[in-house]
Amino acid sequence: MFALIGLIIGALIALLLRPTVPADMTRYVAMGVVAAVDASFGGIRAYVEQTFNDRVFVLAFVSNAVVAAGLVWLGDQLAVDLTTAVVVVFGIRIFQNLAALRRRLFGG
Amino acid sequence: MTAPLSAPPGILDRMRRGVGAPVLLALAAAVVGFLLVGQLQGARPDAPTLEAESEGDLARILADLNAEADALQNEIAELKVQLGELRRFSRDETAAAEAAAEQLRSLQVLAGTTPVTGSGIVVTVSDPNALLTYDTMIDIVQELRDAGAEAVAVNGIRIGVATAFAEREGKVVVDGQVVSPPYRIMAIGQPATLEGGLKIPGGAVDAVSTVKGVRVSVEKQARVDLPALTRVPEFDVAEPVPPKT
C-alpha cells in the first residue's frame, strides 16, 4: 500500500518537474530503474517476512541501481551488450521475490 | 537485525525508530516512479530506428547521406553559376537593347522617318524673280549638313537620305513636290555652328546673295519642329551585309 502511494507520488513529482534524461543516458537510467524495482520488491518481501533491515535495504537499493548502470556502461565500453544480462538477472530476482511474496501472503 | 559494531547503537536505534520500513519502501517506490516517468517522457526522437540498424547498414546510410549532401552542394554551385550567367546575359541584353534603341533613334532622325524637334536655324531665302535653281538648294542643304545639321526641311518637306532635288518647268522640285519662293529652310543642329557654316565667306549664302533680288536671312531658334518624311524610302535592291564576327 505504502509502496503504491510512494510510486504514485514519485510519478506525480516527475510529471510536475518533467525531468529530461539525456538521450545517451537513457540506457543507464533504464537499468537503474530495473535495479530499483528489484530492490523495492526485495524490500517488500523482507518487510512481509519480518526481516526488513533499513540499512541493507538502502544499500541494496542504491548499489543495485549503481552497479546495474555501471555494468551496462562497462558493457558499452567493451562493445558488449550487457543490458540483457542485467535485465535477465533482475527479472529473475523480481519474479522470485514476487513468488516469495505470494507464498507468504496467500500461503503457497 | 544485527547492528554493526562500528556504529553507535544509540543513533541506529533512533534511526530505526524514526525511519520505518514503510517510509523507506515508499521512498524507494517514489524514486522508481520518478525515474520511470522521467524515462518514459525522455524524448527519444529517431534514435531507436538508427540503433536498430547494423553497423554495415549505418555505414551505408551515412555514405548515402554524404553522397546526397555532396550532390546537393554540387547542385547549389551549378545553380549559382547559372544564376550568374543569366544575370550577365540579362545585363548584356539590356545594354544591347539600349544600344539598339539609341541607334534606332539616331537612324530615325537621320532617315527622317520620325518628326524631330530641337534647337536650330531657319533660313529664309526670298527670291521674287524666281531666279534660283535647284542646285542652289542643294548647295545650301549641303552647307548645312557640312555644318553638322542633323535634320533639314525645305518649305516643310523633310530632307531624307533619299531625297532628290530636281527642276521642272523652271521650278524647284523636292521629292516630286514643287516648292516655290520664298524658301524656308529649317535645320536642327547647333544654331551657332549652323549659322557660322552658312555665312562662311564664299559659301552658299554669299553666292546666293549675289543673285539679283535675292535676300537671305538666318535666324537662330531654340526650337525648330521638322515633320517626318511623307514617303518612307524603300530599299528593294540593297541588302545589309551581316557584320563579320
Same domain? For B184 and B202 the reply is yes
Residue B51 has pLDDT above 60, yes or no: yes
Q: Is residue B241 part of a domain?
A: no
Same domain? For B146 and B171 the reply is yes
Q: How far, in Å, CA of B187 to CA of B192, rounded? A: 12
Same domain? For B90 and B121 the reply is no
- Interval A49-74 mean pLDDT: 85
Q: Is residue B85 part of a domain?
A: yes
Same domain? For B71 and B168 the reply is no
Task: Give A18: exposed, middle or buried? Use CB within 10 Å, 0-12, 13-18, 19+.
Answer: exposed
Residue bearing the bigger pLDDT, B130 or B76? B76
B32 touches chain A (CB under 8 A): yes
Same domain? For B164 and B177 the reply is yes
Query: Among partner residues A9, A15, A54, which is closest to B19 by beta-carbon distance?
Result: A54
Residue B4 has pLDDT above 80, yes or no: no
Q: How far, in Å, CA of B19 to CA of A57, rounded? A: 12
Enter the C-alpha cell of residue B23. Answer: 517510509
State which residues form the domain around B164.
116-226
Chain B residues whose CB is inside 8 A of the A7 CB are 29-30, 32-33
Domain boundaries in chain A?
22-106
Q: How confident is the model at residue B218 (pLDDT cuts 50, 70, 90)?
A: confident
Tell me how crowded residue B93 is: count the other CB atoms within 10 A of its CB.
Answer: 10
Q: Which of B96, B111, B126 is the last residue of a domain?
A: B111
Chosen for mutation from A28, A45, A52 (greatest number of chain B CBs closer than 10 Å) is A52
Q: Which of B94, B111, B128 is the last residue of a domain?
A: B111
Chosen for mutation from B17, B25, B36, B40 (greatest number of chain A CBs closer than 10 Å) is B25
Chain A residues whose CB is inside 8 A of the B32 CB are 7, 10, 33, 36-37, 40
- Interval B137-154 mean pLDDT: 87
Q: Looking at the whole model, is its pTM more than 0.80?
A: no
Same domain? For B120 and B103 the reply is no
Same domain? For B100 and B156 the reply is no
**How many independent structural domains does chain B possess?**
2
Q: What angle do CA B201, B118, B136 make, to 5 degrees?
A: 35
Q: What is the pLDDT of residue B3?
A: 44
Give the least confident one: B2-16, B66-80, B199-213: B2-16
Q: What is the pLDDT of residue B5?
A: 46
Same domain? For B53 and B100 the reply is yes
Q: How far, in Å, CA of B192 to CA of A106, rounded? A: 130
**pLDDT tens by residue, B158-189:** 888 778 888 888 788 888 888 887 888 899 98
